[in-house]
Structure 1
Amino acid sequence: MSRWEELTGGTSGEDYAARFAALADSGRDMHGEARLCATLVPTGARVLDAGCGTGRVMIRLAELGYDCVGLDLDASMLAVARRQAPQLSWMQADLATFDPAELPGGADFDLVVAAGNIFPLLAVGTEAAVIKHLAAALRPGGLLVAGFGLDAAHLPVPPAITLPEYDAHCAASGLALVNRFATWDAAPYEGGGYAVSVHRVQSRG
């Protein structure tokens, strides 16, 4: 069982969507992740939203002209995503075991985005497998961008993965670090409890 399932019971889709809707109604900018992705790959690029949840990031990327597929294990989150954007491709699957070749369009994505603390909320011990599968979904030269908390102040669960551990898993899957930010608005990373990392496919390790 993933830490997300332990935390939510897999039934929090409506509550999660309502919380973000309230933030948007309050004037909060909800599109930092999509905006950063749009600086990394050109309009029309293929994007896999790994751990897409209720679809907030992917729906915005689709509005900007990207060819998107969303992948999540939580049926309650996907139900919201499908209701909000039934025309988009949403798939229920475990990030640690899915077959990239079975994704719509095959394993040829320009960008994989993992927002929303995906890695700290995985099942314990599956981090390397998840990165391996996400790397396999990318075309040569494709990018994996992931943002997640590193300390208790930025996470709903105890910290589970460090940046050196994450980088080592990426390297083992043929991904090299090309940039790291402190926020999805691309503020420079100088240490701290949250990081957004961009890795590029270098080889098929």
Structure 2
Amino acid sequence: MTGVEPHGNLWTAAVERDPAHARNYARRWRTLAESGQDIYGEARFADAMAERESKILDAGCGTGRIGGWLARRGHTVTGVDLDPHLIDVAREDFPDVSWQVGDLGEMDLREPWGSQKLFDLVVMAGNVMTFVATDERVRVLERIRAHMFDDARFVCGFGAGRGYGFEEFLADAESAGLGLSLRLGTWDLRPPSDDFLVAVLAPR
């Protein structure tokens, strides 16, 4: 551990403090997109990792910014997020994608015939892991692993100073059955840094 006090889900706490938090978050991303700013760097990174028509899980999908972009490139995307308002926005902006309200720590996605839904690639952008409750982190990573094909990959990125050390995350991933394949410092392929982690992991 890093010495930081354990915490519950930080997104839920923020919404409890400010009921408009999710709406303000969604509005900010729409404003950035409308202003012409590039907000799809993580999606391009993920697209480069995936064969055409891959099955992709957008874990902690928010407003669908990443998963929606990937779906428009021909991938079959499923997005899961805890916040119902953000899922409503994703459904409005990308109605042809499967968006689901759900807790990543309890995620159990199923095919219509009942078997576990598996993915070629799992993407987790936007500092999602740092919002997860301390005692749920390994469980979230285990549920992600359970939804991956044996040759799938999981890419996760988040910044430093958010109460979740990079080495702690990598140790948690290892305990969940995910080994580090590649470590970068940014989504645009810069070398590892102390400020940001982009980790590509694969089932062990």
Q: Check whether TM > 0.5.
A: yes
How many residues end up aligned between the 2 structures? 194
Contact 1:101/1:137 (<8 A) preserved? no
| TM-score normalised by length of structure 1 | 0.88
Query: Cα RMSD over matched residues?
Result: 1.8
Deviations 1:135-193 (A, max 9, x none): 11000011111111111xxxxxxx2211111111111122111111211112121x222
Q: How does 1:3-82 map to 2 (within 5 A)?
A: 3-9=10-16, 11-82=20-91
Q: 1:90 aligns with which of 86, 92, 99?
A: 99
Question: Which residue of the partner structure matches residue 5 of structure 2?
Answer: none
CA distance in 2, matches of 1:27, 1:87: 24
Residue identity in the other structure for 1:186: L
Contact 2:33/2:39 (<8 A) preserved? yes
Are 2:131 and 1:121 aligned? Answer: yes
Deviations 1:110-141 (A, max 9, x none): 01111111111112211100000001100001
Q: 2:167 aligns with which of 164, 169, 178?
A: 164
User: Which consecutive residues of structure 2, in runs of 5 or more, have no partner in the other structure?
Assistant: 1-7
Q: Secondary structure at the match of 2:96?
A: coil
CA distance in 2, matches of 1:184, 1:106: 30
| TM-score normalised by length of structure 2 | 0.88
CA distance in 2, matches of 1:101, 1:22: 35
Question: Which residue of the partner structure matches residue 4 of structure 2?
Answer: none
- 1:102 deviates by 6.0
User: Which consecutive residues of structure 1, in runs of 5 or more, have no partner in the other structure?
Assistant: 152-158
Deviations 1:40-79 (A, max 9, x none): 1112110000000110111100011111000011001111
Q: Secondary structure at the match of 1:129?
A: helix
CA distance in 1, matches of 2:48, 2:167: 25
Question: Which residue of the partner structure matches residue 195 of structure 2?
Answer: 193
Residue identity in the other structure for 2:135: G
CA distance in 1, matches of 2:126, 2:21: 14
Deviations 1:85-106 (A, max 9, x none): 2221011110111214469984
Contact 1:13/1:80 (<8 A) preserved? no
